[in-house]
Amino acid sequence: MTQLPPGSTIGIIGGGQLGRMSALAAARLGYRTHIFAPEFDSPAAQVAAGSTVAEYSNLNMLKLFAAKVDVITFEFENVPAESLALLESLKPVRPGAKILAISQDRLLEKQFLNTAGIATAPWAAVETAEDLPAAVARLGLPAVLKTTRLGYDGKGQQMLRTQADLAPAFASLEPKPLVLEGFVNFAAEISVMVARGVDGTIVTFDAAENRHKHHILDLTFAPAPMPLTVLEEAQRIARTIAEKLELVGLLGVEMFVTADGSLLVNEIAPRPHNSGHWTMDACPCSQFEMHIRAIAGLPLPPAIRHSDAVMKNLIGPEDMDLWPRILATPGLIPHHYGKTEARPGRKMAHFNRLFPKGSLPGEFGIEDALKLNGQETV
Ligand code: AMP
């Protein structure tokens, strides 16, 4: 495809904050967006030119949606295969159905990664209750039992510590099949956002470190405070994945860093990613603009980072109680998702704070952010 001309409409499947921030980036490049999501008044639909409210399995509504847009992308990848096949028959879908199928299924994902020569935690497929003891005998305990589909933010997985955990964990995790992963005693978790354009150009943002609270991303530090050799290897892995998948679009790669500095890929997500939100303020071209450029056939600029950054997620009612203080604190760059109801565990907003390059603090919390600690902000 040639470059998508300004005024064209980008269809986005999914109505969450990732779609909202993609739509805002698309608008800056002169595009309209049309959101397809099951919820009314979704964060993305609030800032888009148009929206369709229907289930992802509603083929008639998907057909009508496809007729209104010039190219289709995702902010949510758990779309039924039949829906994807229909969309692909009607309009360019970027990234394509093959990549979505791989990232929707932890087994396919691990097979793809290992075949591409990329290390993961040791794993074994668990289809029946009888498979589990054999898998545990091979991988040892502790181990993590996960659904292969539909897991997020630590949902759909259980830690196995003793033999007594096996049967209840197998019974409670749905849908089957499951996958058992050896427990990785990681030193840190990092992620890399990689984009590949229609012409095959690949750009990778700097690797960032992610810290979680209650299984939900809490803080991202960019760049990840670790040796350059590790960061460069993380970017090389992300490039290889983008190349092998023939990605057109943006993809997040989550990795574990072990004590000896080796990297194991945990998950890939073919869309903008929470751990890439720091790019909105620390890079001339954010992950969202890079995503839109890639799917629109525009040139991809280098993924330059002009500042160090900390991203803080604001989750549920507790964090949103701090919103007035966050707005009143110089140096914090707020991004609100437009959700009215702050339920526990719900991602409501985030903020970025920039630091001159090379001065990223190793420790950081919301209290540090609100006090500013007399540190220079950019
Ligand atoms: P996931 O849903 O696969 O992204 O897992 C959510 C979180 O659980 C990860 O960010 C890790 O903190 C932890 N986790 C997942 N798999 C493993 C593993 N094999 N070993 C150790 N921790 C894990």
- To which H or E segment does residue 37 belong? strand 32-37
d(CA 297, CA 201): 11
Q: What is the pLDDT of residues 315-368, one digit of tens each?
A: 999 999 999 999 999 999 999 999 999 999 999 999 999 999 998 887 777 777
Q: What is the pLDDT of residues 56-112, one digit of tens each?
A: 999 999 999 999 999 999 999 888 889 999 999 999 999 999 999 999 999 999 999
Mean per-residue pLDDT, 273-288? 98
Q: How far is the CA of 57 from the centre of ligand 1 (A)?
A: 29
**Residue 15 burial by CB count (10 A; 0-12/13-18/19+): exposed, middle or buried?**
buried
- Comparing 122-182 with 188-376, is the CATH topology the same? no
Architecture, CATH, for domain 9-93: 3-Layer(aba) Sandwich (3.40)
Written as one letter, the residue type at 350 is: H
* Phi, psi at 355, each rounded to 5°: -135, 150
pLDDT greater than 60 at residue 378: no
**Residue 293: per-residue pLDDT:** 98
Q: Which CATH superfamily is domain 188-376 in?
A: ATP-grasp fold, B domain (3.30.470.20)
**Residue 257: per-residue pLDDT:** 97
Confidence of residue 205 (pLDDT cuts 50, 70, 90): very high
pLDDT greater than 50 at residue 48: yes
* Phi, psi at 370, each rounded to 5°: -75, -30
CB of 62 closer than 6 A to ligand 1?
no
Residue of 106, 120, 144 with the most ligand 1 atoms within 8 Å of its CB, for mutation:
144
CB of 149 closer than 6 A to ligand 1?
no
CB of 121 closer than 6 A to ligand 1?
yes
Mean pLDDT of the chain: 94
DSSP assigned state of 182: E
Confidence of residue 374 (pLDDT cuts 50, 70, 90): very low
**Residue 366: per-residue pLDDT:** 75
For residue 266, the ligand 1 atom closest to its alpha carbon is 3
Fold of 122-182: Dna Ligase; domain 1 (3.30.1490)
Mean per-residue pLDDT, 265-284? 97
Domain locations along the chain: 9-93, 122-182, 188-376
The predicted model scores a pTM of: 0.94
CB of 189 closer than 6 A to ligand 1?
yes
Q: How far is the CA of 359 from the centre of ligand 1 (A)?
A: 29
Q: What percent of the chain has pLDDT over 90?
A: 90
Mean per-residue pLDDT, 254-258? 97
Helices (H), the chain: 17-28, 59-68, 81-90, 97-104, 106-115, 131-139, 166-172, 228-245, 279-282, 287-295, 316-320, 323-327, 366-371
